Chains A and B, each alone.
Chain A
Amino acid sequence: MGGLAHPVFGLDHVVAMVAVGLWGAFLGAPAIVVLPIVFPLVMAAGGVLGILGVPLPGVEIGIAVSAVVLGLMVVFAVRPPLWIAAVLVGIFAIFHGHAHGAELPPGADALAYSAGFVFATGLLHLAGIAIGLLTRWPAGQLIVRTAGGLIACVGVVFLARVG
């Protein structure tokens, strides 16, 4: 349960995860599938770096920037090619994964913990996708882009704190 709760209680993680789902839904197929798959896999690679103690400069800044950039992508309805979106999300996933990996408890319940926070991360993506599906309606477009703006604002606040 510790792993499940871990991403949920870090607002910087939460908004970035929701933004991934939100942007995926905004971009539509196949990004709606590719982004939530790319993120946990690359996050695991970042987690491995964190576990192995490989230093990654500016982890907290990277996490805050992820919220700013992904939020702005939604606000301005940026629609890059799929591979650019996947690479961008993958780069940010490394920072999130590194932070998670560095905090992974060295106990024997590591798999349950890892499964918990990967599962929670996925649920946050799904929450973002659910909100992002509102774009089918004209009023929903405004709601989704406003949500993107709020996410970017939260990212700016975290960036000011760590910067």
Chain B
Amino acid sequence: MRLVLAIALVLIASPAYAHPPPIGIGGFWGGLLHPYFVTAHVAAIVALGLLVGLQGWGRVTPIAFILALMAGLGLIWLAVVPRYVNEGLLVLAAVYGLLVVLARPLPEPVGIALGVLAGIAVGLDSPPEVLTVREANQMLIGTGLGASLFLVLVIEGASKLTKPWQRIGARIAGSWIAAAAILVLALSFSR
């Protein structure tokens, strides 16, 4: 159900050309919802969550993701805004999707490295476009909580996919995420 919800969120997500408060909500709640409304974030987090859940990597990977996310958001707070982070997230989404498709057992350190990359990229790709410092801080805190919760929910859902047809469905979902991410990457580099 969470997988279906996540895919539905990808489909109804608003444009990812910038990072305004989603659906007109600012502050903490806007930040909380932010990862669910930026399509590249949804794709990367859902693909990572599927991968972690299906690999059965345990808690270290999501913790690594959360710590890296905090680091990324901290850099944003220090006004570090690197370029091409959105494209980097799409690359990660494509890689995670392909790893879900392949379904080969991977060692947990690989998962930790992938979690760190995703966490820092999501953090760096979440600059709050609001006017006051106070509201920006609230949005950053909200984004940290929202993205962390999102990943944990997807991992929890994916870890319950134990029947063969459920795991096949997850692999097909991984192929969809990878395909969509590859297409958009090509589009962004063709401009």
Contact = CB atoms under 8 A, between A and B. Distances in A.
Interface of A: 1, 3-4, 33, 36-37, 40-41, 43-45, 47-48, 51-53, 100-101, 104, 106-112, 114-116, 118-119, 122
Contact of B182 (A33, A44, A100, A106): A44
Contact of A115 (B101, B172, B176): B176
Interface in B26-77: 39-40, 43
B5 to A, nearest CB: 13
B126 interface: no
Given A111-B90, A112-B39, A101 B183 contact: yes
Main secondary structure of the interface of A (DSSP, over half): helix
Given A37-B175, A115-B180, A110 B43 contact: no
A104 B183 CA distance: 9
Contacts, number: 106
Given A110-B187, A122-B172, A41 B179 contact: yes
19 contacts: A1-B11, A47-B179, A48-B182, A51-B183, A101-B186, A104-B183, A104-B187, A106-B187, A109-B15, A111-B10, A111-B13, A111-B16, A112-B13, A112-B14, A114-B179, A114-B184, A115-B39, A115-B43, A115-B176
